[in-house]
């Protein structure tokens, strides 16, 4: 049910310049297709390869799935809107987009935490790794993550966001200065004092981002500290893997923290920052994990060359 008199919104997009819109259409269409292709290749490779059976690749499978879904919540509409004269989105579609974006974004956070736990056990408890991270334990962790994380935790987070959005009355302007529906742009259109709701958003989304990032940061600091007792070759391999993971964590959480942990103000750069973590990060993840990982590259070549 719509709040106030607004039944649809107009998405302003990244720009209103027709020439730039065509360029954005081409660029982001290519980026989105590359995102789907890259994550699809990783999912299929890990699923069919006999050599990528370790827990790290088990969790990478779910990260690629989450990336593809997260990008799909925003990219297709933005791409289509760049060629559309009427960039409208219904109230119900807008609320659905808010829910889906936060759901899959939270899902990715839980998977990244699981991957950090796997690296911690592999590096800090190497002799017990095969026992602690057995196939049964991995299944249990993923089930737990999908129960406590993406299916319950993410649902709770998204439900909290959508319940706040549904409380906003929209009775005047309906132009969203963004390329997708999110809480901060919607707050600007609400015909009420949104200070308290913005605080609740910061305590919800902002807290999840900050706490998760802090936990991940501490885990990698512990891992780096433990490497002092490893051999030079062991340190090199561990640093290579952890560097890839840490780059993914920084490029995902940096923009999220910038957007969701501040007072109710908006900046012109917000849309580009949002484009980076909703479209750029899901594309960079498969590139980082494949280009820096010889096992994934070799398995991918072996499988896809045999298919061809």
pLDDT tens-digit readout, 40-57: 988 888 888 777 777 778
Question: Across residues 200-224, what is the average pLDDT?
Answer: 86
- Residue-level pLDDT at 308: 59
Question: Across residues 106-123, what is the average pLDDT?
Answer: 83
Reported as a single tens digit per residue, the pLDDT across 244-278 is 778 888 888 988 888 888 776 777 788 888 888 88
- Residue-level pLDDT at 116: 84
On whether the CB atoms of residues 144 and 46 are closer than 8 A, the answer is: no
- Residue-level pLDDT at 108: 86
- Residue-level pLDDT at 292: 67
pLDDT at 221 over 80: yes
Mean pLDDT of the chain: 81
pLDDT at 149 over 60: no
What is the set of domains in the chain, with CATH numbers?
A: 8-307 (1.20.1070.10)
- Residue-level pLDDT at 33: 95
Where does the pLDDT of residue 298 fall: very low under 50, low under 70, confident under 90, or very high at 90 and above? Answer: confident
- Residue-level pLDDT at 71: 93
Percent of the chain with pLDDT over 90: 13
Where does the pLDDT of residue 27 fall: very low under 50, low under 70, confident under 90, or very high at 90 and above? Answer: very high
Percent of the chain with pLDDT over 70: 87
Where does the pLDDT of residue 147 fall: very low under 50, low under 70, confident under 90, or very high at 90 and above? Answer: very low
Distance CA 26, CA 20 (A): 10
Question: Across residues 2-29, what is the average pLDDT?
Answer: 83
Where does the pLDDT of residue 1 fall: very low under 50, low under 70, confident under 90, or very high at 90 and above? Answer: very low
Where does the pLDDT of residue 37 fall: very low under 50, low under 70, confident under 90, or very high at 90 and above? Answer: very high
């Amino acid at each position: 049910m719509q709040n106030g008199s607004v039944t649809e919104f107009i998405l302003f997009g990244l720009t209103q310049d027709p020439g730039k819109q065509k360029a954005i259409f081409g660029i982001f269409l290519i980026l989105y297709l590359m995102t789907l292709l890259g994550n699809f290749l990783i999912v299929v490779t890990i699923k069919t390869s006999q050599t990528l059976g370790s827990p790290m690749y088990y969790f990478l499978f779910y990260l690629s799935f989450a990336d593809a879904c997260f990008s799909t919540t925003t990219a297709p509409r933005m791409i289509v809107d760049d060629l559309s004269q009427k960039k409208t989105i219904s109230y119900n579609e807008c609320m659905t987009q808010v829910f889906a974006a936060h759901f899959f974004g939270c899902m990715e956070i839980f998977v990244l935490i699981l991957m950090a736990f796997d690296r911690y056990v592999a590096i800090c408890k190497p002799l017990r790794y095969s026992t602690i991270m057995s196939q049964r334990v991995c299944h249990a962790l993923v089930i737990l993550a999908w129960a406590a994380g993406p299916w319950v935790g993410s649902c709770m987070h998204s439900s909290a966001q959508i319940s706040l959005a549904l409380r906003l009355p929209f009775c005047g302007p309906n132009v969203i200065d963004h390329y997708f529906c999110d809480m901060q742009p919607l707050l600007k259109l609400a015909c009420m004092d949104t200070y308290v709701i913005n605080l609740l958003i910061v305590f919800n989304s902002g807290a999840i981002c900050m706490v998760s990032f802090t936990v991940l940061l501490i885990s990698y600091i512990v891992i780096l500290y433990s490497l002092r007792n490893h051999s030079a070759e062991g340190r090199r391999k561990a640093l290579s893997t952890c560097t890839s993971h840490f780059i993914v964590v920084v490029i995902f959480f940096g923009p999220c923290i910038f957007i969701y942990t501040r007072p109710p103000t908006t900046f012109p750069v917000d849309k580009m920052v949002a484009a980076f973590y909703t479209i750029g990060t899901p594309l960079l993840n498969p590139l980082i994990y494949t280009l820096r990982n010889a096992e994934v590259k070799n398995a991918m070549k072996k499988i896809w060359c045999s298919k061809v």
